[in-house]
Amino acid sequence: MSTTLVAADNKRALATGNLSVVRAAAAELPAVDLADALAICLLMSMRDDERFERAAVRWLARLALERPAVGLGELRSGLVAFEAMPYNPAAARETLAELCERVGVPGAVRVLRR
């Protein structure tokens, strides 16, 4: 199966909201892009998944690696947003959307503002 088809399967899996299906689809990909990885984090938070914190830290680490211009202040802002996600998801999503706009992750902005 081509990577494009598997990536499309991952997007369909995300649309189901079923974490087991999402994990299975993501496991088939050579890499999950930042926007889809963020969508998975959001789903994990909504489902109160015990692995949410680890996934959020991994997403921030990838952001720092893939967008070298990201500074400590922006990472701190992202960390605070992820910590607030279970308690104030609307504000956390908006903070993350603003961060993603500043650092050039438009796909993540679309995910956050759905």
pLDDT tens per residue across span 94-113: 999 999 999 999 999 999 99
- Looking at the fold, whether 79 and 51 belong to one and the same domain comes out as yes
pLDDT tens sequence across 28-76: 777 889 999 999 999 999 999 999 999 999 999 999 999 999 999 999 9
Q: How far is CA 13 from CA 7, 39, 66, 91, 99, in A?
A: 10, 11, 24, 26, 26
- Looking at the fold, whether 21 and 70 belong to one and the same domain comes out as no
- Looking at the fold, whether 103 and 55 belong to one and the same domain comes out as yes
pTM of the model: 0.83
Domains held by the chain: number: 2
- Looking at the fold, whether 55 and 104 belong to one and the same domain comes out as yes
- Looking at the fold, whether 24 and 63 belong to one and the same domain comes out as no
Residue 23's pLDDT is 77
Residue in 49, 56, 55, 46 with CA at minimum distance from that of residue 83? 56
Domain range spanning residue 26? 1-32
- Looking at the fold, whether 51 and 13 belong to one and the same domain comes out as no
- Looking at the fold, whether 69 and 94 belong to one and the same domain comes out as yes
